[in-house]
Amino acid sequence: MLTTRTSRRTTRWLVGISAAVLTVLIAPVAPAQAAAGGDGVPVPPKTGLTNKGVGAISDADKDFVIKVRLAGLWEIPAGNMAQEKSNDPKVVAIGKAIAAQHVTLDNLDRAAAKKLGIDLPNEPNSDQKFWLQEMREANATTFDQIFVDRLRAAHGKIFPAIATIRGTTRNDAVRKLAQETNQFVLTHITLLESSGIVDYASLPTAPAPAAAGKGPVPVDGQMLAAASSSGGIPGVSTTVILLVLAAALVAGVITSMRIFRAR
């Protein structure tokens, strides 16, 4: 009688352990992800970027730092004008946010330029002066469209330039500035588009890809195959391996149960 009870307890123990292990084996395996917001969109981490001015500086790096300064020199007054001239509360709020954020970005840019010994301009370029003049001459009816379209087009042009610098610069201060600028510019593009009056048809189209159909980033077939494989056995997926392990575990439990029953 005692042997039978012991056998039953051992059987229950084996079944419980097997169920727990089986659950772990068949659970979906998810890769590690960056911190994400409430909507699941990854949030760039705030650590890992140094700002010591270390690394070679290219002409493109210098040009980027200067362009960030130029952006603030005309977008701050443009944002201030939006608060004064627009009758649309949304456009007023957009102008206020962009002007305030460019003050912050301008401080970051000037600090980086000082660290790297880059001379910065103190007034907008000729194109930017023309856009500001357009806004000054616009009335309450025409101002909103001019303000939104000029700033949206300008942000769209600098956006890919930021990505190029972020991905190629050798200098850590420029890299950090590019990371920060990217966040500001993407925020401004989104703010401007929230006005609901962006004339998308007037935006320049992207240049044709060098290799049609390949996309801007080459995809390595071997990388794709490796990503879908088990990581150790070429051609064998993770799912197949887990199923085999699960089947072996179940078979082991059944065999153990039969042995204990026989005793």
Q: How many CB atoms neighbour CB 255 within 10 A?
A: 10
Report the predicted TM-score, pTM, of the whole model to 2 decimal places. Answer: 0.68
Task: Name the residue among 217, 250, 228 with its Cα closest to residue 29.
Answer: 228
My answer on whether 120 and 75 are in the same domain is yes
From 162, 179, 202, give the residue that closes a domain.
202
Are 145 and 197 in contact by the 8 Å Cβ rule? The answer is: yes
Q: 24: pLDDT confidence band, cut at 50, 70 and 90?
A: very low
Dump pLDDT digits (tens) for 80-109: 999 999 999 999 999 999 999 999 999 999
Domain count, the chain: 2
DSSP 8-state symbol, 234: T
Dump pLDDT digits (tens) for 47-70: 689 989 999 999 999 999 999 999
User: Residue 52: which residues within 8 A CB-CB, separation 6 or more?
Assistant: 172, 173
My answer on whether 195 and 109 are in the same domain is yes
My answer on whether 72 and 192 are in the same domain is yes
- The amino acid occupying position 225 is A
Query: Residue 65 is part of which domain span?
Result: 59-202
Domain membership of residue 228 (yes or no) is no
Phi, psi of 159 (to 5 degrees): -55, -50
DSSP 8-state symbol, 141: T
My answer on whether 20 and 96 are in the same domain is no
My answer on whether 197 and 78 are in the same domain is yes
Tokens of 70: 């130029």
